[in-house]
Structure 1
Amino acid sequence: MSIRGPQALASLEEAMRDIRREEDEISRRVSRSAERVTKIKESEAELFRQLAQLRLDPAVQSQLDGQISSAEMRAREMLKTHGRDVSKAEEAISDLDRKRAALVERRSAALALLEDRRASLQALTASLTAQLQVDPQFQAKRAEAEELDRIAEQSMRKTEQVEADREAKGKPYRDDPLFMYLWDAGYGTSAYKASNLTRYFDGLVASLVGYHRARPNYAMLNEIPLRLREHAEQQEANVQAAEAELAALEVGAVDRAGGKPLREAIAVTEGEIAKLDAEIVACEDQRDQAAAALRALAEGRDPAFESAAAELAAALGREDIKTLLAEARRTRTGQDDTIVAQIDDARTRLREEEAESRDQRERLKVLAARRRELEDIQWEFKKQRFDDPQSSFGEDRLVGDLLNDFLRGGISAASYWDQWRKSQNWAPGNEWGAGYQRTRQPRSNSPWGPSNGGGMSWPDSSFGGGGNSKPRGGGFGGGWGGGAGGGFSRPRTGSMGGGGKKGGGGFKTGGGF
């Protein structure tokens, strides 16, 4: 079952929301964990105070209590500040999520409006078919384009044949190491530079392999394909120029029939979508920075919080505290044993809490990296205009199993994006009613698409993916093209937010994705 472009982008958007929800949830868990660690240390401090009351004389006990209490009080105050800072950071992310959701909704509405306007323009163009069929200027230009197309086809076919001959006939030369040594050195040409001794021995080698007779033949074998390729490319340029003129004639006919306001409205809507795409990118980058700030807070990396936590930990790690605990373990009294057991329990809970927090922090880094990769894919998706209603994908697993594989780290972002590119097709539309058809597959830089002939793109991209072609130049979302080989071109601003530009590694199993 195929998937239409807007549905495909909606599926990616849903996956993005899932990632962000889990990212926010884990940030909250890590934040609460940092707070719990501090509270466990506070309870441990209280237990040491109780132990000191049992085992130390009042003077030593008072000194120790003062040192612990000071660190404990500072940690408690920083916990309150930390909680407020975390709440502010979470609210900032929520605000950015709402802003982005509103921008995405506006973009969807603009895309629907764009499709309606395109449909109206295509209907108007179709109504002019009969007029163009009897228009002398149009018919003459069509005949010229068809003739140039045939010439270009023949030229390209001859070029490809000569290039194939070059590969086959040139193999004996390339397989001869002595000949290729002299050829690469430019022997027998003005490019040859060597000492007298080297020239002497090279002359012997040249006589041995018959270089002077073979070199002109090999040079000609290489030169002819180059010249034919230049000629073929010029013929292709002629075809493109004629096709552009043919398109301009149709545009003129449409404008005379009242289509100019529609074309201008389409251009305006495309501009609005491009602006919204830029705003979405800026919003995503702001959110990425806000998420990085929240991660720092959640992990207790705020300098003041770190300092207070370190001070409390240092107070509990003092040598006299260690001595006090060791002596309590050596003596067997009911009260001592109860407090020591509680201290041991607190430290066990602390180790468990810290271990879980480490796992959650690693998960958070992976989520941040995967979110950024999905943002890259969405950017390329819109840049290629794959979300156009005329765009579709033959592989429905792209929003099912393959999406899950990507989210779990089973396949890379580049591989997943490559699957999208390979599966994408354009629906027929805006084909020449006047009957112009190419006789061959166009080159990749042609205004005609890579399949089916027919369906030329308009000079101003008014019809987007006209015919079965992929539009070239113009368009919203940063223009067409790019993305080959899985490369990503999404602009980035601000810090990496701890997630990395292109995440290696994948999701751990369990939870969320």
Structure 2
Amino acid sequence: MSVSGPQAMRALDDALRDIRREEDDITKRIARANERVGKLRETESGQLRALAAVRLSPDVQSELAGKLSQAETRAREMLKNHAAAMADMEKTLAAKEAALAKLSTERQELLENAAEWQAEIDALDAPVKAALANDPAYGGLIAERNETEKVAIEADRKADMAEADREEKGRPYRDDPLFSYLWDRGYGTVDYSAGNITRILDAWVARLVGFAKARPNYAMLIAIPDRLREHAEKLAQDTDALDTRVNDRERAALDAAGGGKARTAIEAAQARVDAIDAELLTIEDAREDLTEKQKQIADGGDPTFAGAVDMLAEAIGGTGIEKLLAEARATRTDEDDAIVVRLEQTRRRITEEQLELDDERSRLKVLEARRRELEDIEFEFKKSRYDHPRSRFGNDKLVGDLLTEFLKGGMTAAAYWGQWRQSQDWTGSSGPIVPTSRSRSSKSKGSFPLPPGGFSPRPPSGGNWGGFSRPRGGGMSGGGFKTGGGFKGGGFKTGGGF
């Protein structure tokens, strides 16, 4: 059973939402555990005061109780402020999460609507092809465009060869220090300037290395590639201009066949999806910063919370109570023995809470890494336009067993993305050709190996759902029909980039 692009996009969105929700839950559990540790420290100090009341003289007991009580009061107030900060942070994050969910839902609805409009356009495939086949101007444009592209490709190849020659054949010139010296000074040109003695010495060096004969050869060697590259780029621009004219003809044929309304709707949907992607990235970046702050506060990174715990622990640790505990265990006094038992239970609970905290911290770290990897995959999914209504995936396990395996850590992000790439195909009238992805920037925080083709740089904001240029070889321009190198073998696409 195949999975459509919009269906796959929804599955990835749902998985990301679940991961973020679990991250929030773990963060809250860490915060509650830290608060429990703080309260257990208060209980511990109270039990120590009770033990001191039994074992110490009245003067020493009074001094100890006052010291602990003061520390407890201040720590309790700090913990209260800490809890309030956590509550505010959770409220802000909930608002961000709601905004993300709302935008994702709107985006998904746009994709689903676009699939229906695309079906209307696909149904007009035959009459549009017939109209274009009977349009001599269209046939002439296709021929001109393909010939121009052919020449542009050859010009690009020659420019590449010339640049390679410049690097290889120019190396002996650049490696000769005397030739490089004269070249850098502009010797033999109107730019050369030097005193009489220097001119005499430079002339001697020029005769020594045969500069007069070598200079024009090197000048031509380094200039030709630039001229060829300029020519190739001009031909590429001419091809793009012809692409635009071809797309205009195809749009006109589609509109004449009754597809104008659907095409306009798809273009509007694409524009809105681009805007949504920009909003999503902006909110995700803001949410990421808030999440980091929330985790710091929850895990005692907040100076207020850390100060409360440290102050209370210092007060408890500076009382010399360990000796009292040893003495209490050695006596048969029921009262101090009972206090010691409760104190030991309290400290055991503190140890258990600390172990649970360590476990939750480890889980959160793993989950955070997995979420960032999935965000990277989702971004590349959109960049490759795999969420397109015409996009199909033959392996439905990608949104089932394989997704679960990836989330559990049984599959690397690179391997999971490779499965998406291998399974993907296009349906309908000759689907889009996706540009080759470029290398990934440091903006995204994923750490897995790059898949074939690399990951695309994730911008701070702004999406890439529909805006790309026609690749060399007869691809699709940003918002046009796909000619496929000519009418007979190509078909058409909507003008909105779908």
What letter is aligned with 2:240? Answer: Q
Equivalent residue for 1:326, pick from 310, 323, 328: 323
**Alpha-carbon separation, structure 1, partners of 2:235 and 2:332:** 100
1:37 and 2:34 equivalent? no
Please tell me the residue identity of whatever aligns with 1:449: P
Name the structure 1 match of 2:51: 51
Find the aligned partners of 2:388 and 2:229 in 1 and give their Cα distance: 36
Residue 261 of structure 1 corresponds to: 261
Residue 50 of structure 1 deviates from its aligned partner by 2.3
Alignment-derived partner of residue 124 in structure 2 = 124
- Write the letter of the residue equivalent to 1:460: G
Q: Report the alpha carbon displacement of residue 131 of structure 1 after superposing the two structures with TM.
A: 2.0
Per the alignment, residue 449 of structure 1 pairs with 471
Alignment of 1:386-425 (within 5 A): 386-391=386-391
SS of aligned partner of 1:388? coil
Structure 2 match to 1:291: 291
TM-superposed deviation, 1:238: 2.0
Deviates more, 1:3-12 or 1:390-399: 390-399
Contact kept in structure 2, 1:386 and 1:424, CA below 8 Å:
no
Alpha carbons 2:263, 2:496 under 8 Å: kept? no
Give the corresponding residue for 1:100: 100
What is the alpha-carbon distance in structure 1 between the residues aligned to residue 405 and residue 279 of structure 2?
28
Q: What is the rounded CA distance, in whole Å, between the counterparts of 2:195 and 2:398 in structure 1?
A: 63
Deviates further, 332-341 or 51-60 = 332-341
| Distance in 2 (alpha carbons) for counterparts of 1:64 and 1:351 | 25
Percent identity, aligned pairs only, is: 43
Query: Over residues 63-96 of structure 1, what are the superposed CA-to-partner deviations in whole Å (9 max), with x where a residue is unaligned?
Result: 5334434544565576677667656655664565
Partner of 1:245: 245
Q: How does 1:171-190 map onto structure 2 within 5 Å?
A: 173-174=173-174, 176-190=176-190
Distance 2:35 2:132 in 1: 75
Quickly say closer, same or farther: Cα 1:56–1:111, change in 2 above 3 A: same
Within 5 Å, give how 1:315-354 maps onto structure 2. 315-318=315-318, 321-322=319-320, 324-327=321-324, 329=326, 332-335=330-333, 336=336, 339-340=339-340, 343=343, 346-347=346-347, 349-351=349-351, 353-354=353-354
| Within-5 A mapping of 1:304-319 | 305-306=305-306, 308-318=308-318
> For residues 243 and 99 of structure 1, do their structure 2 counterparts lie closer, same or farther at Cα, with a shift above 3 Å needed?
closer
Matched with 2:385 is 385
Q: CA deviation at 1:172?
A: 5.0
Distance in 2 between residues matched to 1:162 and 1:308, nearest whole Å: 70
The letter of the residue matching 1:139 is: G
Residue by residue over 1:303-360, the C-alpha shift from the partner in whole angstroms, topping out at 9 and shown as x without a partner, is 6655544443343234xx21x5425535731335664565456445535544653564
**Which residue number corresponds to residue 23 of structure 1?**
23
Deviation of the 1:421 alpha carbon:
10
Counterparts of 2:2 and 2:193 in 1: how far apart (Å)? 63
Give the match for residue 452 of structure 2. Answer: none
Residue number in structure 2 paired with 1:501: none
- Describe the shift of the 1:123–1:306 C-alpha distance in structure 2 as closer, same or farther (beyond 3 A): same
CA distance in 2, matches of 1:261, 1:182: 67
**How many angstroms apart in 2 are the aligned matches of 1:312 and 1:232?**
74
Amino acid at match of 1:329: A
For residues 234 and 302 of structure 1, do their structure 2 counterparts lie closer, same or farther at Cα, with a shift above 3 Å needed?
closer
Answer yes or no: is 1:280 the counterpart of 2:280.
Answer: yes
- Please, what is the CA RMSD of the aligned residues? 4.7
CA apart distance, 1:115: 2.2
C-alpha separation in 1, matches of 2:390 and 2:113: 14
Q: Is residue 45–residue 68 contact of structure 2 (8 Å, CA) maintained in 1?
A: yes
Residues 155 and 232 in structure 1, CA contact (< 8 A), matched pair in contact too: yes
Q: SS in structure 1 opposite 2:124?
A: helix
Counterparts in 2 of 1:181 and 1:10: CA distance versus 1, 3 Å? farther
Shift, 1:218, TM fit: 2.4
Q: Deviations over 1:128-151 (max 9, x none)?
A: 222222223323333433443344
The answer as to whether partners of 2:3 and 2:396 remain within 8 angstroms in 1 is: yes
TM (norm. structure 2) is 0.72
Per the alignment, residue 137 of structure 2 pairs with: 137
Q: Structure 1 residue 55: deviation in Å?
A: 1.9
Aligned to 1:12: 12
Measure, in 1, the Cα distance between the counterparts of 2:3 and 2:103.
23
Q: CA deviation at 1:117?
A: 1.3
How far apart, CA to CA, are the structure 1 residues paired with 2:191 and 2:361? 62
Aligned residues of 1:464 and 1:475 also touching (Cα < 8 A): no
Contact 1:34 1:300 in 2 (8 A): yes
Cα-to-partner distance string for 1:438-489 (whole Å, 9 max, x where unaligned): xxx99x99953355x3x543x63478999999x9x9869xxxxxxxxxxxxx
Give the superposition deviation at 1:52.
1.8
CA contact (8 A) 1:31 1:298 kept: yes
**Distance change >3 Å, CA 326–CA 196, structure 1 → 2:** farther
Distance 1:257 1:60, change over 3 A: same
- Alignment-derived partner of residue 485 in structure 1: none
1:254-285 alpha-carbon deviations (Å, 9 max, x no partner): 22333322222112222332343344345435
Q: Deviations over 1:168-212 (max 9, x none)?
A: 654554565543443344332234455655544443332223221
Compute the TM-score of the two structures, normalised by the length of structure 1: 0.70
**Structure 2 vs 1, CA of residues 474 and 307 (structure 1 numbering), >3 Å: closer, same or farther?**
farther
Compared with structure 1, are the counterparts of its residues 200 and 456 closer, same or farther at alpha carbon in structure 2 (3 Å cutoff)? same
Give the 3-state SS of the residue equivalent to 1:128 in structure 2.
Answer: helix
Structure 1 stretch displaced more, 27-36 or 80-89: 80-89
1:234-260 per-position Cα deviation (integer Å, ceiling 9, x unaligned): 222222222221221222222233332
Cα displacement (A) at 1:106: 2.7
Task: Say whether the 8 Å CA contact 2:247–2:480 is kept in structure 1.
Answer: no
Partner in structure 2 of residue 427 of structure 1: 426
Residues 1:82 and 1:144: Cα distance change in structure 2 (over 3 Å): closer
1:223 matched to 2:223 = yes
Residue 479 of structure 2 aligns with which residue?
460
Which stretch shifts more, 188-197 or 241-250? 188-197
TM superposition shift of 1:30:
1.2
Q: Distance in 2 between matches of 1:269 and 1:294?
A: 36
Distance in 2 separating the partners of 1:232 and 1:253 = 31
In 2, Cα distance between equivalents of 1:22 and 1:254: 48
Q: 1:407 to 1:449 in 2, by over 3 A?
A: farther
Between 1:198-207 and 1:170-179, the stretch displaced more is 170-179
| Bigger mean CA offset, 402-411 vs 342-351 | 402-411
